[in-house]
C-alpha cells in the first residue's frame, strides 16, 4: 500500500478541506464523556485512545456516543486551539453535525467501508468534506 | 433544502444576524442529513451549561443578546436544561468565582433572548409535557428520548447551537426522528425479567444502549408486562440514551407508537436478543469497586422528581451521614420549591445531605469540583451518571438509592454494592 494514494467515499460532509495526521481507533466518540479538553487528551480509562493527545489530528472513530454537550464543545475546543483538525466517523449523530457546523470543523461520515479499519494512526489524510472524500497519501 | 419565503428572508439577514445565523445552522445540519425542508416546532429545550459553552460560547450568546429586541427574542416557548452553578450552594461545592461569573453572564444573555430559565432536564415531567405527534426541539438526550418514546413527540437530539436556532426561527430541519420511516424499530430485545429498583431500570437501559449500532438504531423491547412508572421509564431512557446515544425506543404494549410488534417493526423481522436479570447484574458488577472507600453520593442525571425526592427524604429522615462523605441530590427549581414547602429538603439536609436546585452533577464542572473536594469514589443510583463520570476522573459505583444512603451513613460502601 505504501506510496499509493487511497481514497474513501463517504456522505457529503461539513467544513473546509484540511490535511493532517490520522489518530484512529475502533471506539466511539463523545467530547464530554471521553476527553480532558483542557489537556487535549482522551481521559476515559476504557477508551482505546486513553492518554493520547488528539490536538491537531484527523480523529477517526466509529460512531457518535453520549450526550449533547459536544455540540457546543467542538467550537470551544477549536477556538482555544485545542481541537482535532477534523472528525471522521463511521456514523455521526446530529450532535456531531451540529457541533461541526457551529465550529466549522470538517466532518465526514457514512463511508463505503469501516473507516476505522481502513486507515491507520500516523497516516497522512486529506479531508474533502464537500466531496465526502478522504485521501490517504 | 426547500425554504419558504419567510425562511429565505431570515437566511438573507432581513430579520437580523441572529435569525440569519439560525437559518444557516439549520441548513448546514439539514444538508448533512439530506433534509428536504424544515418542520415547525412547538417548544424548545435548550442545553447550554457553562462548562460546555466555555468563555467563547458565552461570548457568542452575548453577541446575540446585544441585538435589538426585535432581532433577538425567541419565537417559540424555550426552556433551559440544568445550569452549571446553584448560586445558593456553589461555595460549599468549592466552585470558583470564574465559573460562577461565566454562569451569571450566560444566564443574563439567555434572559435577554426571552428564554425561560427552568433549569431542568425533567421538563417532560414538570414543565410542559409534549403530546403525541408534536414536533419539538429538545436538547438533552434524556428529555429527547422520553419525549420521543413515552410521549410520542418528535425530536432529534438538538444540541445547544441548533436548539437555539430552532428557538429563534420556530423551525428545525426535517430529518431523522421527525420522519415516520425513521421511527420504526430496527432491533428487538426480549426481556425476561422486570426490573424493580430505579437503578435496575437504568442498568437495563445501559445494557441495551451498549448494543446500539448508531443513532439510527431504534430498539424495541418486549416482555415488560406491567406498565413502568414515569420515573422508571425516565431512568431507563436516560441510561439508554447515554450509553447508546439513542433518541427513541419502543416498549410493546406500553409506549404509544408500539401497540403491538407488527405496527412498530413494519416489515422488518430482527432477531430477538434475550435479556434477563444476569445481564443487568453484570452491568452493575462492572462498576463494583476494589474496596469500600466512599467520598461522595450523587443523586442526579436526571434530576429527581418530587416522588424520588420523597423517597430520598424518607430514607434519610432521622439519620446522619458520615462527616467525610458528601451527599448531593439535584432537582429542578420547581421541585425544590415543592420540597421546601413539604419539608423534604429539611429532612435531607438535617441528615447532612445537600439539595441542589437547577443543576445536575455532571453539568456543574464535575471534574473541577471533584478535584477541589478530593472526591474520587462516587456512588449513585443513576446508570447515566456513572457512565459519564468515568471520563471525569471518578471511580463511580452503581447501587440502589437505599444502598447509597446506607453507605453514606456508614461512611463506606455497604450493602452488596
DSSP class per residue in B370-392: HHHHT--EEEES-HHHHHHHGGG
Out of B29, B362, B391, closest to residue A94 by CB:
B29
For B177-233, how does the pLDDT look when each residue is reduced to its tens digit (9 = 90+)? 999 999 999 999 999 999 999 999 999 999 999 999 899 999 999 999 999 999 999
CB B376 within 8 A of CB B395: yes
> B32 by DSSP, 3-state: which?
helix
Q: Which residues of B are less than 8 Å from A66 in CB distance?
A: 141, 242, 245, 388
Kindly tell me the burial class for residue B16, based on how many C-beta atoms sit within 10 Å of its own C-beta (0-12, 13-18, 19 or more).
middle
Coil vs helix vs strand at B73: coil
pLDDT in tens, A7-46: 999 999 999 999 999 999 999 999 888 999 999 999 989 9
CB contacts, 8 Å: A80 with chain B: 54, 56
Phi, psi values for residue B327, rounded to 5°: -125, 120
State the Cα–Cα distance between residues B328 and B363, nearest whole angstrom. 14
- Is B32–A34 a contact, with Cβ atoms under 8 angstroms apart? no
Q: Do A98 and B245 touch (CB under 8 A)?
A: no
Question: What average pLDDT is seen over chain B?
Answer: 96
Q: What mean pLDDT do residues A58-71 have?
A: 92
Q: In A, which residues are within 8 Å of B168 by CB distance?
A: none
% of chain B with per-residue pLDDT over 70: 99
What would the grid cell of residue B1 be? Answer: 433544502
**Cβ-Cβ contacts under 8 Å, A45 against chain B:** 390
Chain B contact for A114 (CB, 8 A cutoff) = no
* B37-81 pLDDT, tens digit each: 999 999 999 999 898 999 999 999 999 999 999 999 999 999 999
Q: Give residue for cell 426541539.
A: B137
> Under an 8 A CB cutoff, do B161 and A99 touch?
yes
CA dist B372 and B331 (Å) reads: 23
Q: Which secondary structure element, helix H or strand E, spans residue A24, and what is its range?
A: strand A18-24
**What ipTM was predicted for this assembly?**
0.95
**Residue A20: enclosing H or E segment and its boundaries?**
strand A18-24
Measured between alpha carbons, how far is B11 from B63 in angstroms, rounded to an integer? 18
Average pLDDT estimate for B255-275: 96
Write the CB contacts of B31 (distance below 8 Å, at least 6 apart in sequence).
A12, B1
Cross-chain Cβ contact B47/A68 below 8 Å: yes
Beta carbons of B161 and A72 less than 8 Å apart: yes
On whether the CB atoms of residues B383 and B204 are closer than 8 A, the answer is no
- Which candidate in A45, A78, A93 is best for mutational testing of the B interface (most B CBs within 10 A)? A93
- Interchain CB distance below 8 Å, B32 and A93: no
* Cβ–Cβ below 8 Å for B159 and A71: yes
Contacts of B269 (CB under 8 A, 6+ apart): none
Give dist(CA A55, CA B343) in Å, integer.
50
> Given this model, what pLDDT does residue B417 score?
44
Helix (H) or strand (E) holding B311: helix B306-316
- Contact between residue B330 and residue B81 where contact means Cβ atoms under 8 Å apart: no
* A115–B contact, CB cutoff 8 A: no
CA distances from B71 to A113, B26, B56 (A): 45, 17, 21
Nearest Cα of chain B lies from the Cα of A137 at a distance, in angstroms, of 26
Identify which of B29, B49, B244 has the shortest CB distance to residue A98.
B29
pLDDT in tens, B303-343: 999 999 999 999 999 999 999 999 999 999 999 999 999 99
- Judge contact between B328 and B356, C-beta under 8 A: yes
The answer to whether B48 and B57 have CB atoms below 8 angstroms apart is: yes
Q: Are strands A133-136 and A124-128 parallel, antiparallel or unpaired?
A: antiparallel
- Chain B interface includes A39 (CB < 8 A): no
Contact B84, A102 (CB under 8 A): no
Q: Which residues fall within 8 angstroms of residue B287, CB to CB, at 6 or more apart?
A: B386, B396, B397, B398
In 3-state terms, what secondary structure has residue A27? Answer: coil
- What chain A residue is nearest to B59 in terms of C-alpha separation? A76
Q: How far apart are CA B58 and CA B249, in angstroms?
A: 34
The answer to whether residue B164 scores a pLDDT higher than 80 is yes
Minimal C-alpha gap between B8 and chain A (Å): 19
* Residues in B lying within 8 Å of A, measured between beta carbons: 25, 28-29, 31-33, 47-49, 51-54, 56-57, 139-141, 156-162, 176, 213-216, 241-245, 362-363, 367, 387-388, 390-393
* B12 Rama sector, left if φ>0, alpha if ψ -120 to 50, beta otherwise: alpha
- Of B31, B214, B388, nearest to A63 by CB-CB distance is B214
Q: Which of B144, B234, B202, B143 is nearest to B386 (CA)?
A: B202
pTM: 0.95
Residues of B in contact with A102 (CB under 8 A): 25, 161-162
- Buried b or exposed e, range B252-284, using 16+ CB within 10 angstroms: bbbbebbeebeebbeeeeeeeeebeeebbeebb
Amino acid at each position: 500500500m505504501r506510496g499509493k494514494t487511497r481514497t474513501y467515499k463517504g456522505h457529503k460532509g461539513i467544513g473546509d478541506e484540511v490535511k493532517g495526521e490520522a489518530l484512529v481507533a475502533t471506539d466511539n466518540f463523545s467530547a464530554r464523556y471521553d476527553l480532558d479538553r483542557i489537556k487535549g487528551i482522551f481521559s476515559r480509562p476504557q477508551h482505546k485512545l486513553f492518554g493520547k493527545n488528539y490536538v491537531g489530528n484527523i480523529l477517526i472513530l466509529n460512531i457518535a456516543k453520549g450526550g449533547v454537550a459536544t455540540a457546543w464543545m467542538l467550537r470551544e475546543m477549536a477556538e482555544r486551539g485545542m481541537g482535532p483538525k477534523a472528525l471522521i466517523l463511521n456514523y455521526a449523530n446530529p450532535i456531531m453535525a451540529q457541533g461541526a457546523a457551529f465550529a466549522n470543523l470538517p466532518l465526514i461520515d457514512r463511508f463505503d467501508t469501516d473507516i476505522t479499519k481502513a486507515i491507520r494512526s500516523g497516516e497522512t489524510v486529506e479531508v474533502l468534506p464537500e466531496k465526502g472524500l478522504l485521501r490517504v497519501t | 433544502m426547500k425554504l419558504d419565503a419567510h425562511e429565505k428572508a431570515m437566511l438573507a439577514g432581513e430579520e437580523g444576524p441572529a435569525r440569519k445565523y439560525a437559518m444557516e445552522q439549520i441548513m448546514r445540519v439539514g444538508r448533512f442529513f439530506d433534509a428536504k425542508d424544515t418542520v415547525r416546532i412547538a417548544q424548545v429545550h435548550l442545553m447550554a451549561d457553562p462548562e460546555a459553552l466555555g468563555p467563547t460560547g458565552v461570548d457568542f450568546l452575548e453577541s446575540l443578546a446585544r441585538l435589538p429586541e426585535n432581532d433577538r427574542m425567541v419565537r417559540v416557548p424555550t426552556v433551559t436544561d440544568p445550569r452549571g452553578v446553584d448560586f445558593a450552594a456553589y461555595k460549599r461545592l468549592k466552585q470558583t468565582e470564574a465559573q460562577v461569573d461565566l454562569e451569571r453572564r450566560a444566564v443574563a444573555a439567555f434572559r435577554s433572548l426571552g428564554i425561560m430559565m427552568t433549569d431542568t432536564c425533567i421538563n417532560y415531567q414538570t414543565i410542559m409535557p409534549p403530546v403525541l405527534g408534536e414536533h419539538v426541539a429538545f436538547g438533552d438526550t434524556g428529555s429527547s428520548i422520553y419525549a420521543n418514546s413515552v410521549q410520542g413527540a418528535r425530536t432529534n437530539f438538538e444540541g445547544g447551537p441548533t436548539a437555539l436556532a430552532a428557538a429563534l426561527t420556530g423551525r428545525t430541519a426535517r430529518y431523522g426522528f421527525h420522519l415516520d420511516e425513521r421511527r420504526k424499530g430496527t432491533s428487538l430485545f426480549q426481556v425476561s425479567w422486570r426490573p424493580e429498583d430505579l437503578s435496575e431500570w437504568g442498568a437495563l437501559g445501559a445494557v441495551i444502549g451498549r448494543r446500539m449500532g448508531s443513532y439510527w438504531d431504534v430498539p424495541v423491547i418486549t416482555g415488560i408486562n406491567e406498565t413502568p412508572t414515569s420515573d422508571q421509564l425516565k431512568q431507563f431512557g436516560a441510561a439508554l440514551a447515554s450509553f447508546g446515544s439513542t433518541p427513541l425506543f419502543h416498549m410493546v404494549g406500553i409506549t404509544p407508537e408500539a401497540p403491538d410488534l407488527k405496527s412498530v417493526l413494519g416489515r422488518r423481522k430482527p432477531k430477538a436478543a434475550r435479556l434477563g436479570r444476569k445481564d443487568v447484574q453484570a452491568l452493575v458488577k462492572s462498576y463494583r469497586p476494589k474496596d469500600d472507600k466512599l467520598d461522595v453520593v450523587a443523586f442526579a442525571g436526571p434530576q429527581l422528581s418530587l416522588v424520588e425526592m420523597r423517597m430520598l427524604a424518607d430514607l434519610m429522615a432521622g439519620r446522619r451521614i458520615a462527616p467525610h462523605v458528601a451527599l448531593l441530590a439535584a432537582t429542578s427549581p420547581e421541585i425544590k420549591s415543592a420540597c421546601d414547602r413539604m419539608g423534604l429538603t429539611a429532612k435531607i439536609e438535617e441528615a447532612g445531605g445537600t439539595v441542589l436546585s437547577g443543576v445536575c452533577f455532571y453539568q456543574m464542572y464535575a471534574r473541577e469540583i471533584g478535584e477541589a473536594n478530593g472526591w474520587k469514589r462516587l456512588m449513585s443510583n443513576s446508570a447515566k451518571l456513572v457512565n459519564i463520570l468515568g471520563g471525569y476522573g471518578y471511580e463511580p459505583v452503581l447501587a440502589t438509592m437505599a444502598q447509597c444512603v446506607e453507605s453514606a451513613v456508614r461512611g463506606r460502601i455497604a450493602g452488596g454494592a
